[in-house]
Amino acid sequence: DTAVSQTPKYLVTQMGNDKSIKCEQNLGHDTMYWYKQDSKKFLKIMFSYNNKELIINETVPNRFSPKSPDKAHLNLHINSLELGDSAVYFCASSPGALGTAYNEQFFGPGTRLTVL
Amino acid sequence: GIQVEQSPPDLILQEGANSTLRCNFSDSVNNLQWFHQNPWGQLINLFYIPSGTKQNGRLSATTVATERYSLLYISSSQTTDSGVYFCSNTGKLIFGQGTTLQVKP
């Protein structure tokens, strides 16, 4: 299917652990994003990559490190997990870069991270 | 301050009723998108509408970029319309806080 996919869908882990979330899009898009949705449903941008290049890095702890091996993949690695990292993490992609008319966003199904 | 404000925050409708959701922007609108987050958490694209009016079945949307607002119309609501509706200024990657809609049978 043509889509944005994320793995895993659910992630339950202990404080202090390191974990990764993977994202892949087969839409041929140039730009990919990570968003965090908190318990109040508020969606906030974390990172954006365009053609494997980091273009947006919001105020996110440096325990969060994105990595884009190619323009179809954007992974998120989180070190030393904390209770406050519990949230739903969404990956998204858009055809063009920010500032263009082609940044309609398509979202993955989300990864629910629970830190115990 | 608030850059994307949605109203109302919560809405309860009887099945079959119509409703209008609003999105106001404090800054210029660089491309606007409406999403529906269903009860299973999926974010579903409804409209990508930088300006003008679009319709898709029972849903339609209008964006007036010069006046910095967008409206989402839901007609003949169904229980499957329940969930959270978000608007986003995609050019600035900013989401509104959402409107939670509950449609009762």
Map tokens 């702890």 to a residue. A61
A61-105 pLDDT, tens digit each: 999 999 999 999 999 999 999 999 999 999 999 998 777 767 899
Look up residue B43 and give its amino acid: L
Distance, CA of A72 to CA of B52 (rounded, Å): 32
CA-based nearest residue to B33, from B100, B101, B93, B97: B93
B24-62 pLDDT, tens digit each: 998 777 789 999 999 999 999 999 998 999 999 999 999
Contact criterion met (CB below 8 Å) for A76 and A113? no
Task: Compare all CA atoms of chain A with the CA of B42 and give the residue at the minimum distance.
Answer: A109
* Percent of chain B that is helix, strand, coil (3-state, to 5): 5, 55, 35
Left if phi > 0, otherwise alpha if psi is -120 to 50, otherwise beta: which for B7?
A: beta
Q: What's residue A98's pLDDT? A: 72
CA distances, B96 to each of A30, B15, B32, B66, B90 (Å) = 25, 25, 11, 18, 11
Spell out which residues of chain A touch residue B91, defining contact as CB-CB under 8 Å. Answer: 98-99, 103
Does the distance separating the beta carbons of A41 and B37 come in below 8 Å? Answer: yes
